[in-house]
Structure 1
């Protein structure tokens, strides 16, 4: 049992990888990049960098993050059930605390994901925790299909991805991933093959990215290719480098996601992003923010077991002060940190 409670490293890597893509997509909306030019009628169509962001990044990483949240929810529930008589009470506190943080984050970033995650967690994941895993999987598949066909993705894709992630965790796929390389390779091949026609479909109406079925379908299948491809790479000699690159960001994803908003807002104001599209500055800002966060996360995690907001979230969940420094309360290490 203790071995299964070890941190599932591939989840940290996937979470850090998704964080990078989400930042690239979020900088424009957070800074209102080019909004003044649009209002003045000086923008006629998407620039080449925007086209490639739409084709390779936008709509690809949000499903990954939602899927990982569902996995983490289920892992945490299993862990909490072993150490608390009312594990769903912990989950309710966890989601309420996330919602309060999300409500604060909405003030500076109205398009943020934490508040919707908390709301859908309460409405979908908590009730689903009473269902058998096959029903959760069926509900996730149906919800995801509806999310990309009926409403063209976006926020209403969250429930389906939550349930799919929860089902994958309840079938214990993350814990057995090292024994499922063949199945992972098959899934990658299917996702990659589907991504080609889906991308061509999206390219035909790329200016409607985010508001079309084609962009939702392409985003979802490409997200699947990214996830399964990265999981395959984690079975190669590149695993160590990928872990060093992405895991520190992923282990402090909550802290990094929220603090990036403040840094991007300040930089966008200082560089006057709203006056015109500044794609070179956008990519440079994303690289600078991620590099700084990687350094700070790596240094922080040498001394502490959780990021600052991750630690506060745990304290709110357990309704007590959880040990933060490494080396304190060894028995606490059995807690499933992959659910963070």
Structure 2
């Protein structure tokens, strides 16, 4: 065997004694929070939000706003930050140098990418993030030695670049919408359409099929989701593939910026709990103090201007640049730093240690728990399962979330009492190191995340 191959053979996963509790807690919290954002995608028909998101007199309205303010985008941001920190945790103390470390890491990302393809195309969750994270992780590795003070600049730079790229994409769609309206008007007046007008009708129809379904499409999409596995797969797989190919260049930068921020925060000691209590309180106050007014204004703006499909399309025809979109990346980072500070302060305080241990256990089994979200939800909501798609009110779908949370907060620490890894974490490690990893816990390997009493 070559020296690098021998080094890879002796490399092993991070030992339990090297795990960082705060990072596991943050990962667990983010994972559970992601389900809050994903559950409507599993369960609700297109445009079903219109029934309540503009009615302040209803409970669904306030639940929708609360989740939007405190969780929308923030949980994915927190997960991305922790994923970035995980790069340094993975390569630390590997006992390997040079090419062997590179090969281990990229093999790890390759298998994550494959898990993402399986997740999207077999389990049929088009909102899956493993594929995207694998691609971002491959790029992220190139920045592992960059100083933290430079890494943090990725957030504002990418925020502005993403806004520009998004605006270009928006204006392209807007131009096709305006051309479609003109062609549709001519057609309704029985005018002979030009080749350009005929093309405009076809191009907008393509957008309707892939991005902005019309009302009839929405009904048909619901019918498909309530059908057998082959029908659901035939509808969702092309959308998933578009996300993993056509739209990947637009999606990769946001996630990459969050991972780079995570690298910086890990190097600074923020994510490890190394800061003083006073400094965490300062970040919490700044994060919430600036972030909450921004997100509340953005939410109120959406309430005024983005009420229905028809209102959204009309506004698209009128407004060439949605400047309000610049608020999103900044309010999200501010609030997620507030959330992270609050969780780290909770962990450092010694209060609610039972909850913290359970969150840490969920975080240590993040891959298994994330995939189980999709398995449970697809079998509960999709037509080939219990067929509850488009059957429940908005608030009712969160009873499913609470049930899954309860199961994972209870089962994860119990599982780790007997096993070293979650089942998919174990498989991922075996594939990464290309050798069987120990699974059963022994007396010589104590459980550091015991079930709370």
Q: TM-score range by the shorter chain?
A: 0.7 to 0.9
After superposition, the Cα gap between the structure-2 partners of 1:237 and 1:169, relative to the gap in structure 1 and judged at 3 Å, is closer
Which of 214, 223, 229 is the aligned partner of 2:327? 214
1:17–1:250 CA contact under 8 A, matched in 2: yes
Which of 240, 256, 262 is the aligned partner of 2:369? 256
1:234–1:242 CA contact under 8 A, matched in 2: no
Structure with greater Cα Rg: 2
1:34 aligns with 2:38: no
1:228 aligns with 2:242: no
Give the CA deviation at 1:213.
3.2
1:319 aligns with 2:434: yes
Helix, strand or coil at the partner of 1:75: helix
Aligned to 1:336: none
Which of 279, 286, 289 is the aligned partner of 1:190? 286
Aligned to 2:136: 120
1:141–1:164 CA contact under 8 A, matched in 2: no
Helix, strand or coil at the partner of 1:234: helix
Provide the C-alpha distance between the structure 2 equivalents of 1:191 and 1:237, rounded to a whole number of angstroms: 23
Instruction: With the length of structure 1 as denominator, give the TM-score of the two structures.
Output: 0.84
Which of 246, 261, 275 is the aligned partner of 2:390? 275
Pairs within 5 Å for 1:158-197: 158-175=255-272, 177-197=273-293
Helix, strand or coil at the partner of 2:92: helix
1:305–1:326 CA contact under 8 A, matched in 2: yes
Deviations 1:10-60 (A, max 9, x none): 1111111111110011011123x133858xxx8474541322221222111
1:16–1:251 CA contact under 8 A, matched in 2: yes
Provide the C-alpha distance between the structure 2 equivalents of 1:145 and 1:188, rounded to a whole number of angstroms: 24
Which of 28, 33, 47 is the aligned partner of 1:21? 33
Give the CA deviation at 1:295.
2.3
Pairs within 5 Å for 1:44-55: 45-46=53-54, 47-48=60-61, 49-55=63-69
Helix, strand or coil at the partner of 1:238: coil
Which moved further from structure 2: 234-243 or 22-31? 234-243
2:136–2:252 CA contact under 8 A, matched in 1: no
Deviations 1:110-166 (A, max 9, x none): 1111100001111x2121125344433444553356457864996532111111111
1:63–1:157 CA contact under 8 A, matched in 2: no
Give the CA deviation at 1:183.
1.8
Aligned to 2:76: 62
Provide the C-alpha distance between the structure 1 equivalents of 2:300 and 2:252, rounded to a whole number of angstroms: 23
Provide the C-alpha distance between the structure 1 equivalents of 2:45 and 2:390, rounded to a whole number of angstroms: 5
2:159–2:329 CA contact under 8 A, matched in 1: no
After superposition, the Cα gap between the structure-2 partners of 1:316 and 1:62, relative to the gap in structure 1 and judged at 3 Å, is same
Instruction: With the length of structure 2 as denominator, give the TM-score of the two structures.
Output: 0.64
Aligned to 2:144: 129
Which moved further from structure 2: 59-68 or 6-15? 6-15
Helix, strand or coil at the partner of 2:349: coil
Provide the C-alpha distance between the structure 2 equivalents of 1:163 and 1:235, rounded to a whole number of angstroms: 25
Give the CA deviation at 1:248.
1.7
After superposition, the Cα gap between the structure-2 partners of 1:231 and 1:150, relative to the gap in structure 1 and judged at 3 Å, is farther
After superposition, the Cα gap between the structure-2 partners of 1:235 and 1:144, relative to the gap in structure 1 and judged at 3 Å, is farther
Q: How many residues align?
A: 323
Provide the C-alpha distance between the structure 2 equivalents of 1:271 and 1:37, rounded to a whole number of angstroms: 20
1:77 aligns with 2:77: no
Which moved further from structure 2: 288-297 or 127-136? 127-136
Aligned to 1:337: none
1:36–1:274 CA contact under 8 A, matched in 2: no
Deviations 1:53-112 (A, max 9, x none): 2122211100000000000111112232x3465212111011111000011111211111
1:298 aligns with 2:413: yes
